[in-house]
Structure 1
């Protein structure tokens, strides 16, 4: 009898141990995929930025600026806060109209100057570390392990998956199908940066307004992005003339966010001939001259991201 009890206890211990091992393996796998940093490449920061220092930012000696505007020989930035609706239907968003002398003033940067998965810093931190005058969050490439990722003329990932955005060295931007164009052809054509998120909002002057059954990715925790949400996007009016739009949301009485169709219409009304949706939600952040312009999620708290697009004065 006692032998049978001991045998039963051993079976129970073995069973519980196996269960704990399985659960532990699953938890570690999730942590490894979504939490633990994986540095693949350390990037040397650009040391060519020159100018005068103002509040930690590098500005041109000939620049004129205030809290909403910046003008130098090479860069013009004008930011407007826009509000529409009222009460629970109110939407608050920010539009930055940016004109550059040439495309060298538009760059991208990684969190902690490192390419890989789950490496994050606040948009404002990445921007300040790269002497940015202006910045918005990027595509949060580090949450996924696919996409064609070219940054500042260097290919970091070549795993075609979706419709992406290409920024060229002549100041143009175009969307493209990652599975239809090779990374080598993109680089040969002058692509300096790609963003792999989406969807496309405006293409060849035509506004896209059908987002039925849209999925950006199928990662754990992925949620629908078709309803009213905070958003970040970039549009091109003409080469080297861009509009960046950041929409606040999920804060009743301040801003409910926008649907994708509403977001596309904003870019169309601004005169964009191309426009593309970037990472949104808690990531949506606009930075200018040392401060966060918008109010992320209505709480004033940034969420760490893996990358940014930014404007700076360069040689």
Structure 2
């Protein structure tokens, strides 16, 4: 039976994140002939609606308002509920991000829906959907089916089949007028102060070069950044490197940091503590560089290099420069 699917677009710094296209592509596949809609919320976001039809969206509902410039639960809940009323979905897909996780719980409660978090795969279509999610820090996986009612699911970036577009659909765009009262603005974000960041978004990066205590200092991350620049990669770190003050906690990957699933993960000077493995062990290809041949990281690595990272990484950088030139 056909299902209507509503996707909440994941917008960051005025751009749609890749996970949005992954969810729209998945929605087109699982709808089984039902309608695929996208909710686009924020300030000055209307222009982002163009092109979503090419990935499978039949309709895009836009709520463009100054009150939505920054995420606040009450305002976003009201705006998203207007999209839900318009789309009448059987399935809601949100990114497994800070915003998506918070809003998914609110919507599941409001709709009396079944919720599935941190989905890495969706099998089947229509009435026969199976969601796969990791448990026990990625050591096992559960298959979840919601047998009745609406489904609210959060999707981990970089896991669903790549969204390639090319469907040639125009996709209708409908602007919804939402009025926000004092009860919707109990919390107002006046300003966000954040550290300047550049390069690839860590949670969506296809390639990650990551450093651990073996980098020895903040200066020790320099070769990693040089390699990352050549590969067009993001730079990450273990908690040990962050705790030692070698880098900012924004780079932390692991059980208490970001969970990533890149195509290629290069671990430099990382021993492979279980807490770190929980954040990256599902990477498609893992390359480990460590002086200790007994380091646990080699047990999960597809390729291992026993050696000094300060010798190996610059060699890799130079070789890749020549190969990619």
Q: Provide the TM-score with structure 1 as the length reference.
A: 0.25
Identify, as 1 or 2, the structure richer in helix.
Answer: 2
Which one scores higher on RCO, CA 8 angstroms, separation ≥ 6?
A: 1
Identify, as 1 or 2, the structure richer in strand.
Answer: 1
Q: Provide the TM-score with structure 2 as the length reference.
A: 0.25
If you compute each CA radius of gyration, which structure gives the higher value, 1 or 2? 1
